[in-house]
């Protein structure tokens, strides 16, 4: 594979069908950022309808209907696709595909991923899946409109779902290939001396995340195949007998169960939410360790907690299904596991907080985003608890409270962590630092408006407003007292969009004009900073690094510098 690393490669070989993990990582990253913008764009359109129901959408209205008013069915499409795009095409590819690909080999001192061709295949499978998903908007039937959860029987009978399922199969394949590659890389290609206890925490989170993907995605693939059969071959895996749709008896054999889908779906989708959060935690830990200039507090308990978290995430899925008619045994079991799984999260967060004590904190942009992650994830995580307690979930299930809960963990949580990562590793990728002032201009408004969008959701949720309502609750009397928030949230969302402009400018501006830096601008200890910036094509390091110390030797007493790279040999 690396035989041609010294040869000149054609443009196509170098940037398109590349097998270099760094190029693939960048491909993943750019595509995912693009999809994030698309997902966000859909949401900004939906927020117009929620704020000003049944008024024509400005600027882009003509895409969505003759008179520019968002129809309910289109609203449902946009909602389902917002969820799908954000999760499967945005955050997972960015967190695992981009960050995992780019950084894991560097952090473990490997020349490339274990299977470079598979790596490229994984990206292209993702790309095809993305194209199929996007294409569904322009197909005759339109995009899927049964929520990202695709509950049958609705999903079995609604238009657009077939394309969604086919797209999902590609995305699942991509994730499977990618995560097998990451696991193998971590296990097999660690540099000499890099023992498990010396592994940077980020690598640990990638390892656990990849295991989640390998083992949890296939049941969803199975479910997708079954739903595809229902739609294409007329089977009734998810359709019981005796359904009457719009006055017509549904002509199927029946005998299936809609709950089967829910079980298989959530068997994936709960581990999936930890796939969204664990890499984010990894990134945040790296940034915090570096900018507090001290080791992470409780490395062992952090590692133990992510492993335990990963393990437990397979046995909590039915907390999404409390209201499906569950008996006492099942509901008690899943409540207990849900409460158990919250403990390692608390431990991880605590360890990160405690790491701050006694530090010497540098408030640069990556650190700001990483610090903001902590309380924001805290809010999201804490509001998960009343949902995990079945008694309170009776009231809160499928209200905006749930929407608020998970947006706090994914948007100001994961997205902020990813921003932190981009600012932090940008110098490694380009050899230039991103602009601090623009970074601050990105951070502060983003923090403000994120809360502006999502905080009122808890209020609406407490009032009992259901999610996925086209008119934002106008129809319902119990929503009357909290409707005024809709406009507030929408305006916050649009301002949040505007706040991203400095970021986009920063990315392109710094490519040419950013301050030039050497290979270790943040004075960090882990291996990626030993490589040149950017790392050498295909081989990363000039010589194979050898590891002599733990990952975070910052401010060790008695040393003349406040950091000691992992490669520095121990004396005598």
Partner 1 sequence: MIDILRDLGLPISISSNGPVIDETIALMHWLMLFLFIGWGTFFIVSLVKFRKSKSPQADYIGVKSHISTVFEVAVALIEIVLLIGFSFPIWASRVNDVPTSNEGIIHVRVVAQQYVWNIHYPGPDGIFGSTQSELVDEVSNPVGLDRSSFGASDDFITINQLHIPVNKKVRIDLSTKDVIHSFKLPELRVGQDAIPGMSIPLHFEATMTSNQFLKKMVGTPREGKGLEISCAQLCGLGHYRMRGYLTVDTEEEYNDWLSLQAEYLLEDNEEDEWGDEEDW
Partner 2 sequence: MEIPYIVDERPDTGIYNAKLGIWLFLASEVMLFGGLFSSYVFLRLGAPVGAFHEWGQELNIPLATLNTLILISSSMTMVMSWVSLKMNDFKKFKLYMALTLLCALCFLVIKYLEYSAKIHHHIYPSTNTFYAIYFTLTGLHGLHIIGGMVVLFYLWVPGSNMWKIKPEQFTNRIEIVGLYWHFVDLVWIFLFPILYLL
Partner 3 sequence: MSSGDDVDIQSHIKVYMMVFASLAVLTIVTVSASYLDLTSGEAIFLALVIASIKGSLVACFFMHLISEKALITWVLMLTAGFFFILMFLPMASFIDQAQIG
**135 Cα distance to chain centroid:** 22
Least separation in angstroms between CB 220 and partner 2: 8
Least separation in angstroms between CB 122 and partner 3: 20
Q: Which listed option, ligand HEA, partner 1, partner 3, none, makes contact with residue 555 (CB within 5 to 8 Å by class)? A: partner 1
By beta-carbon proximity to partner 2, the closer residue of 267 and 503 is: 267
Among 71, 180, 330, 339, binds partner 2 (CB under 8 A): 180
In terms of Cα–Cα distance, which of 211, 373, 186, 173 is closest to 277? 373
Among 215, 243, 511, 517, binds partner 2 (CB under 8 A): 215
By beta-carbon proximity to partner 1, the closer residue of 71 and 121 is: 71
Q: Which listed option, Cu ion, ligand HEA, partner 3, none, makes contact with residue 263 (CB within 5 to 8 Å by class)? A: partner 3
Among 22, 47, 198, 270, binds Cu ion (CB under 5 A): 270
By beta-carbon proximity to partner 3, the closer residue of 260 and 455 is: 260
Phi, psi (degrees; rounded to nearest 5) at 548:
-125, -10
Task: Give, in order, the Cα–Cα distances in Å from 230 to each of 73, 225, 254.
Answer: 22, 9, 11
* Residue 223: Cβ within 10 Å count: 24
> Distance between CA 72 and CA 52 in Å, rounded?
14
Structure tokens that stand for 361 in this block: 């904190």
Q: Which listed option, partner 2, partner 3, Cu ion, none, makes contact with residue 270 (CB within 5 to 8 Å by class)? A: Cu ion
Contact status: 391 vs partner 1 (CB under 8 A):
yes
Q: Cis bond leading into 227, ω under 30°? A: no
Structure tokens that stand for 157 in this block: 């009978």
Contact status: 459 vs partner 1 (CB under 8 A):
yes
Mask: binding to partner 2, 248-267, rule CB under 8 A, as x and -? ----xx-xxx--x--xx--x
List Cβ neighbours of 343 (8 Å cut-off, separation of 6 or more): none
Which residues ranging from 324 to 353 are in contact with partner 3 (CB under 8 A)?
Answer: 324-330
- The DSSP call for residue 248 is E
Structure tokens that stand for 209 in this block: 């995340």
Which residues ranging from 528 to 567 are in contact with partner 2 (CB under 8 A)?
Answer: 539-541, 544
Contact status: 223 vs partner 2 (CB under 8 A):
yes
- Reduced to 3 states (helix: H, G, I; strand: E, B; else coil), residue 466 is strand
Contact status: 434 vs ligand HEA (CB under 6 A):
no
Mask: binding to partner 3, 259-288, rule CB under 8 A, as x and -? xx--x---x---------------------
> Distance between CA 78 and CA 237 in Å, rounded?
27
Which residues ranging from 5 to 34 are in contact with ligand HEA (CB under 6 A)?
Answer: 33-34
Cα 102–Cα 285–Cα 274 angle in degrees, nearest 5: 75
**118 Cα distance to chain centroid:** 22
Contact status: 463 vs partner 1 (CB under 8 A):
yes
> Distance between CA 233 and CA 244 in Å, rounded?
20
> Distance between CA 288 and CA 372 in Å, rounded?
11
Least separation in angstroms between CB 275 and Cu ion: 12
> Distance between CA 339 and CA 98 in Å, rounded?
32
Structure tokens that stand for 35 in this block: 């999809």
Structure tokens that stand for 359 in this block: 């530090």
Among 356, 495, 505, 539, binds partner 1 (CB under 8 A): 356
Q: Which listed option, partner 2, Cu ion, partner 1, none, makes contact with residue 214 (CB within 5 to 8 Å by class)? A: partner 2
Beta bridge partners of residue 516, listed in sequence order: 432
Least separation in angstroms between CB 276 and Cu ion: 11
Contact status: 116 vs partner 2 (CB under 8 A):
yes
Among 206, 236, 460, 490, binds partner 2 (CB under 8 A): 236
Mask: binding to ligand HEA, 94-133, rule CB under 6 A, as x and -? ----------------------------------------
Structure tokens that stand for 175 in this block: 């994730």
Beta bridge partners of residue 365, listed in sequence order: none
Among 61, 219, 386, 431, binds partner 3 (CB under 8 A): 219
User: SS3 sequence, 84-122?
Assistant: HHHHHHHHHHHHHHHHHHHHHHHHCCCCCCCCHHHHHHH
Q: Which listed option, partner 1, ligand HEA, partner 3, none, makes contact with residue 319 (CB within 5 to 8 Å by class)? A: ligand HEA
As a dihedral over the C-alpha atoms of residue 447, residue 452, residue 457, residue 458, rounded to 10 degrees, the angle is 70
Contact residues: ligand HEA, CB under 6 A: 33-34, 36-37, 40, 43, 47, 79-80, 82-83, 86-87, 91, 147-149, 273, 276-277, 319-320, 338, 341-342, 345-346, 349, 374-375, 378, 381-382, 384-385, 387-388, 393, 397-398, 402-403, 405-407, 409-411, 414-415, 453, 467-468, 493, 496, 500, 503-504, 507
Contact residues: partner 3, CB under 8 A: 187, 211, 215, 219, 259-260, 263, 267, 314-315, 318, 324-330
């Amino acid at each position: 594979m690396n035989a041609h690393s010294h040869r000149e490669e054609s443009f196509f070989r170098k940037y398109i069908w590349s097998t270099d993990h760094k190029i693939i990582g960048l491909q993943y990253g750019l595509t995912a950022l693009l999809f994030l913008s698309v997902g966000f764009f859909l949401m900004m359109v939906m927020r117009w309808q929620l704020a000003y129901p049944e008024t024509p959408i400005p600027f882009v209205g003509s895409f969505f209907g003759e008179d520019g008013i968002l129809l309910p069915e289109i609203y449902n499409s946009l909602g389902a696709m917002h969820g799908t795009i954000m999760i499967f095409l945005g955050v997972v590819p960015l967190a695992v595909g981009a960050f995992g690909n780019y950084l894991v080999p560097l952090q473990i001192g490997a020349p490339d991923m274990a299977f470079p061709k598979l790596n490229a295949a994984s990206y292209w499978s993702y790309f095809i899946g993305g194209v199929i998903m996007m294409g569904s908007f322009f197909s005759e039937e339109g995009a899927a409109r049964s929520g990202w959860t695709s509950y049958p029987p609705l999903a079995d009978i609604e238009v657009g779902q077939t394309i969604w399922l086919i797209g999902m199969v590609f995305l699942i394949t991509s994730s499977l290939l990618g995560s097998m590659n990451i696991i193998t890389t971590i296990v097999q290609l660690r540099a000499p001396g890099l023992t498990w206890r010396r592994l940077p925490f980020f690598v640990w989170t990638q390892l656990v995340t990849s295991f989640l993907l390998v083992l949890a995605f296939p049941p969803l693939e199975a479910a997708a195949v079954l739903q595809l059969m229902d739609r294409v071959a007329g089977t009734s895996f998810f359709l019981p007998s005796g359904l009457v749709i719009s006055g017509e008896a549904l002509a199927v054999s029946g005998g299936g169960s809609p709950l089967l889908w829910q079980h298989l779906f959530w068997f994936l989708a709960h581990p999936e939410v930890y796939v969204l959060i664990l890499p984010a935690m990894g990134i945040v830990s790296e940034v915090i360790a570096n900018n507090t200039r001290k080791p992470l507090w409780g490395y062992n308990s952090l590692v133990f907690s992510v492993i335990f978290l990963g393990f437990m995430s397979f046995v909590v899925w039915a907390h999404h299904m409390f209201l499906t008619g569950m008996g006492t045994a099942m509901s008690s079991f899943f409540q207990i596991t849900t409460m158990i799984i919250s403990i390692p999260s608390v431990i991880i967060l605590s360890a990160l907080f405690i790491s701050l004590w006694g530090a010497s904190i540098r408030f640069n942009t990556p650190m700001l985003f990483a610090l903001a992650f902590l309380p924001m994830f805290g809010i999201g995580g804490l509001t998960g608890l009343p949902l995990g307690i079945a008694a309170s979930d009776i009231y809160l299930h499928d209200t905006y409270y749930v929407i608020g809960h998970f947006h706090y963990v994914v948007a100001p949580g994961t997205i902020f962590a990813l921003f932190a990562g981009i600012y932090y590793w940008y110098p490694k990728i380009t050899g230039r630092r991103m602009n601090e002032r623009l970074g601050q201009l990105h951070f502060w408004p983003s923090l403000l408006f994120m809360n502006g969008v999502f905080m009122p959701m808890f209020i609406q949720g407490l009032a009992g407003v259901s999610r996925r309502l086209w008119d934002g609750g106008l129809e319902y009397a119990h929503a009357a007292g909290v409707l005024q928030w809709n406009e507030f949230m929408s305006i916050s969302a649009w301002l949040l969009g505007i706040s991203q402009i400095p970021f986009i400018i920063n990315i392109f501006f710094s490519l040419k004009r950013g301050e030039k830096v050497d290979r270790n601008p943040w004075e960090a200890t882990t291996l990626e900073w030993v490589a040149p910036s950017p790392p050498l094509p295909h081989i990363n390091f000039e010589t194979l690094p050898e590891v002599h110390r733990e990952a975070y030797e910052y401010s060790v007493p008695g040393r003349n510098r406040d950091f000691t790279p992992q490669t520095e040999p121990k004396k005598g």
